[in-house]
């Protein structure tokens, strides 16, 4: 874009336009540009209440973090999150939450502190190894989800209020028995078949194709031999790491960075703690008295709080890891001391300080090497933006690709014969940076002999592509693929012969013979599938054949492709399902159907609420936010 603007900046039209802009600024001034004004960052509005971009960003990031953890830590970009529907789903959740919150307010549905406390203490996710609520686990989970106590409790309160509304709406939504039984009969029915597998070897060897056969097959299946477009191109990159490697950071700058980032190198005091949680003041007083009498902490916790020794340890904690009241008492106690009982919304806490690690600060010399690398990278970030502008100017001024790349120290890599997916002619992947999709798009959208515009590599730097040569997609002449055509023709002949044989067997079975008898005449092996469910899988039966089995009458046959051959099946038994004899599975199905019906009902209810509480989505801010 910059290159295109610069290339036209000398035209008469653009000069006139700039003149008009200058006059306009002269008349009206440009102060308004710099005055403070409120900026609308809302991505949606529900009944006049705004959903801010920050809310959506946090919700999306939480979903991304959760998905990343479930995928073994694999990184997920925001663009991938959009493609996976994560952004749309997060926005819809926020909107649905807002309309339901408006409805709970209208109906004056409220949840008290006791209900919030019970929900937290009763949440299995917050339990320790003894099966009881564990404050340490609770803190860790909240931290992993970027929430503090107040934020989580408010979210939970809102969820509980919405649950009160949705439960009242869906409590009676259940599938009728007739529907559940009918679906159960269809899903639980099993069928048994005898099968014969016809591998390619079951068909006679195909003849050698004639020239006419080869020519005809080549003409009828041109795309089977089509080669992709391939391009030779040179990639020039300028990365932050390349720029940083050439920067010498003076010690005085490193010392300034050390002072400004001193908090990073400071480790606050930590304490190894044990905690017992007691339900009321009477038990807290009893525990305090027994501890004062010299009884061991673990013994008191077992006798009074019913907690095993293995559940008492909180580990090494910082002051900020604890609620204010607990932190104040715990971090003023001496090593080996026990706090007085401390009350909060979860009960009464008594904490023992087992060990103390005093605060520490790493010296300048200890972090100097790390600082040098990080400061150089920061400086490189400033320099690379300026270099990018100079590169853009040089290209706009007509500079040759090779000259510009050398002038600005860009690293170049030559790629030969890559297709649009980055695969080379030998099947190997071209050696490209992680942003290969963007690079390949540039390489395949730039004319031969031309250079692409300067583009970014995300946060890593910039690149240019010069297209050296293009080999267009096409169908090679018959002489070059003759052997391949002959091979495919023979494979087709064998497949057709197998299909013919399979149909002959099916016709004979459907005329009244058994599959075993028909197979014996041809010296083929028969086996049984065993019971097969409509929605199940069976390694003996191709998926396409399972569907056919459930449309057959008893003792009739059908066939389908399987692997590189065919499978013929004769239905030998139908095992009907009886809902009356399988109450557990029927109840589970009924529960599943109820959940689906309730979900659809709530979806319709949410859509209806949007008429009462109008929803507007700010597409501009939505695109800008993510």
Q: Look at residue 512 in the predicted model and tell me its pLDDT.
A: 93
Q: What is the pTM of this model?
A: 0.52
Over residues 218-232, the mean pLDDT reads 94
User: What is the greatest pairwise CA distance in the chain?
Assistant: 105
Q: What confidence tier does 588 reach under pLDDT thresholds 50, 70, 90?
A: very high
**The token pair that represents 452 in the structure block:** 């692409």
- For residue 24, pLDDT over 90 is answered with no
Strands 49-52 and 190-198: unpaired
Q: What confidence tier does 252 reach under pLDDT thresholds 50, 70, 90?
A: confident
Give me the sign of the Cα torsion angle 32, 33, 36, 37.
positive
- For residue 12, pLDDT over 70 is answered with no
Q: What confidence tier does 415 reach under pLDDT thresholds 50, 70, 90?
A: very high
What is the dotted CATH code of the domain comprising 230-249+367-471?
A: 3.10.50
Higher model confidence: residue 13 or residue 587? 587
Give the Å distances, CA to CA, from 335 to 338, 344, 518. 9, 23, 87
Q: How far apart are CA 33 and CA 21, in angstroms?
A: 14
Q: What is the pLDDT of residues 310-356, one digit of tens each?
A: 788 888 999 888 888 889 999 999 999 999 999 887 889 999 999 99
**CB proximity list for 204: less than 8 A, separation 6 or greater:** 497
Q: How far apart are CA 33 and CA 541, in angstroms?
A: 71
Q: How far apart are CA 29 and CA 202, in angstroms?
A: 88
Fold classification of 190-221+482-575 is: Chitinase A; domain 3 (3.10.50)
- By the 8 A CB rule, do 515 and 504 touch? no
Higher model confidence: residue 439 or residue 2? 439
Q: How many CB atoms lie within 10 A of CB 575?
A: 12
- For residue 130, pLDDT over 90 is answered with no
Tell me if 190-221+482-575 shares its fold with 269-358.
yes
Q: In what order do the strands lie in the sheet with 347-357?
A: 313-318, 270-278, 347-357, 342-344
Residue located via tokens 């902490």 = 297
Angle separating helix axes 251-260 and 364-396, nearest 10 degrees: 110
- For residue 82, pLDDT over 90 is answered with no
What is the dotted CATH code of the domain comprising 269-358?
A: 3.10.50.40
What residue spans define the domains of the chain? 2-34, 42-172+611-625, 190-221+482-575, 230-249+367-471, 269-358
Q: What confidence tier does 442 reach under pLDDT thresholds 50, 70, 90?
A: very high
Over residues 444-456, the mean pLDDT reads 94
Q: What is the pLDDT of residues 482-505, one digit of tens each?
A: 999 999 999 999 999 999 999 999
Q: If we measure between CA atoms, which residue out of 142, 115, 537, 580 comes closest to residue 322? A: 142
Q: How far apart are CA 222 and CA 217, in angstroms?
A: 8
Burial of 473: CB neighbours in 10 Å, binned 0-12, 13-18, 19+? exposed
Which CATH number is 42-172+611-625's, of 1.10.4030, 1.10.287, 1.10.730, 1.10.150?
1.10.4030
Classified as helix, coil or strand, 377 is helix
Q: Look at residue 75 in the predicted model and tell me its pLDDT.
A: 66
**The token pair that represents 444 in the structure block:** 């395949």
- For residue 253, pLDDT over 90 is answered with no
Q: What is the pLDDT of residues 509-539, one digit of tens each?
A: 999 999 999 999 999 999 999 999 888 777 7
- By the 8 A CB rule, do 267 and 349 touch? no
């Amino acid at each position: 874009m910059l290159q295109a603007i610069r290339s036209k900046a000398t035209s008469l039209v653009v000069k006139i336009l700039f003149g008009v802009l200058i006059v306009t600024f002269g008349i009206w001034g440009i102060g308004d540009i710099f005055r403070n004004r409120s900026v609308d960052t809302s991505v949606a509005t529900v009944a006049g209440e705004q959903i801010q971009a920050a809310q959506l960003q946090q919700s999306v990031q939480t979903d991304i973090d959760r998905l990343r953890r479930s995928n073994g830590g694999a990184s997920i970009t925001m663009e991938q999150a959009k493609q996976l529907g994560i952004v749309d789903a997060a926005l819809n959740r926020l909107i649905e939450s807002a309309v339901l919150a408006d409805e709970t307010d209208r109906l004056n549905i409220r949840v008290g502190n006791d209900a919030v406390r019970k929900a937290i203490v009763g949440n299995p996710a917050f339990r320790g190894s003894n099966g009881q609520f564990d404050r340490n686990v609770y803190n860790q989970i909240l931290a992993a989800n970027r929430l503090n106590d107040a934020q989580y409790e408010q979210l939970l309160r809102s969820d509980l209020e919405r649950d009160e509304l949705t439960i009242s709406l869906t409590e009676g939504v259940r599938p009728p028995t007739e529907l559940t039984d009918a679906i159960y009969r269809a899903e639980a029915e099993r069928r048994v078949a005898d099968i014969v597998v016809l591998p390619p070897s079951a068909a006679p060897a195909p003849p050698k194709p004639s020239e006419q056969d080869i020519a005809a097959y080549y003409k009828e299946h041109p795309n089977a031999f089509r080669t992709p477009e391939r391009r030779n191109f040179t990639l020039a990159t300028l990365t932050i790491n390349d720029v940083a490697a050439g920067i010498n950071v003076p010690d005085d700058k490193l010392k300034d960075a050390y002072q400004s980032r001193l908090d990073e190198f400071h480790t606050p005091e930590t304490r190894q703690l044990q905690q017992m949680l007691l339900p009321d003041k009477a038990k807290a007083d009893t525990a305090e008295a027994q501890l004062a009498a010299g009884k061991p902490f673990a013994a008191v916790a077992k006798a009074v709080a019913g907690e095993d020794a293995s559940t008492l340890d909180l580990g090494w904690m910082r002051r900020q890891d604890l609620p204010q009241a607990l932190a104040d008492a715990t971090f003023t106690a001496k090593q080996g001391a026990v706090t007085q009982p401390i009350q909060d919304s979860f009960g009464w806490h008594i904490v023992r300080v087992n060990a103390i690690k005093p605060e520490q600060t790493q010296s300048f010399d200890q972090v100097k090497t790390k600082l040098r690398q990080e400061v150089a990278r920061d400086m490189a970030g400033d320099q690379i933006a300026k270099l990018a502008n100079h590169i853009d100017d040089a290209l706009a001024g007509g500079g040759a690709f090779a000259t510009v790349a050398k002038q600005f120290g860009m690293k170049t890599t030559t790629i030969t014969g890559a297709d649009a997916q980055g695969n080379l002619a030998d099947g190997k992947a071209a050696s490209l940076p992680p942003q290969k999709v963007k690079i390949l798009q540039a390489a395949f959208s730039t004319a031969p002999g031309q250079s692409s515009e300067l583009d970014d590599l995300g946060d890593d730097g910039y690149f240019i592509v010069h297209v050296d040569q293009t080999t267009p997609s096409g169908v090679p002449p018959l002489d070059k693929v003759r052997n391949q055509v002959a091979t495919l023709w023979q494979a087709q002949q064998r497949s057709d012969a197998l299909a013919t044989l399979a149909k002959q067997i099916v016709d004979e079975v459907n005329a009244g013979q058994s599959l075993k008898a028909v197979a014996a005449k041809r010296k083929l092996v028969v086996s049984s599938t065993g019971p097969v469910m409509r929605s199940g899988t069976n390694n003996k039966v191709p998926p396409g054949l399972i569907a056919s089995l459930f449309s057959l009458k008893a003792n009739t046959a059908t066939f389908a492709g399987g692997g590189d051959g065919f499978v013929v099946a004769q239905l030998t038994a139908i095992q009907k399902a009886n809902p009356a004899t399988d109450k557990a599975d029927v109840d589970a199905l009924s529960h599943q159907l109820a959940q689906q019906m309730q979900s659809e009902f709530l979806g319709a209810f949410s859509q209806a609420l949007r008429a009462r509480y109008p929803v507007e989505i700010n597409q501009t801010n939505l695109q800008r936010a993510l």
